[in-house]
């Protein structure tokens, strides 16, 4: 995950408390989404960014997992096309791993 985003997430945790935050991902690939979910829960596995060795314990969800929470018209306009394109099951499976 981008080092700057890691810093921003860490700052938000300091400001609002980890228990009040979830992370919503929009990555196109299962592996990259899983890596991001891992970074915000267990810490940066590449040990490159501000979250190296910092297990925030945040729960991450991919946008496609939140379909039921979104206004159908907005979903249709913004996301429906990508739902056809992406491997939704693989992404869900990968991201879920780091919530449990």
- Tell me the CB-side half-sphere exposure of residue 58, using CA atoms within 13 A: 27
> What is the contact mask toward another protein in residues 73 to 92, using x (rule: CB under 8 A)?
----xxxxxx-xx-------
Kindly list the distances between the CA atom of residue 70 and the CA atoms of 63, 74, 76, 81, 84, in Å, as whole numbers in the listed order.
9, 7, 10, 15, 17
For another protein, the closer CB: 57 or 83: 83
Site for another protein in 33-62 (CB under 8 A): 35, 48
Q: Does residue 69 bind another protein (CB under 8 A)?
A: no
Q: Does residue 31 bind another protein (CB under 8 A)?
A: yes
């Amino acid at each position: 995950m981008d080092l700057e985003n890691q810093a921003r997430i860490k700052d938000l945790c300091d400001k609002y408390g980890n228990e009040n935050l979830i992370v919503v991902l929009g990555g196109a690939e299962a592996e990259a989404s899983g890596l991001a979910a891992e970074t915000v829960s267990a810490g940066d596995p590449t040990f490159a960014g501000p979250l190296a060795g910092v297990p925030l314990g945040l729960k991450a969800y991919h946008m496609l997992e939140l379909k039921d929470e979104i206004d159908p018209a907005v979903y249709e306009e913004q996301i429906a096309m990508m739902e056809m394109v992406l491997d939704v099951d693989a992404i869900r499976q990968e991201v879920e791993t780091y919530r449990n």
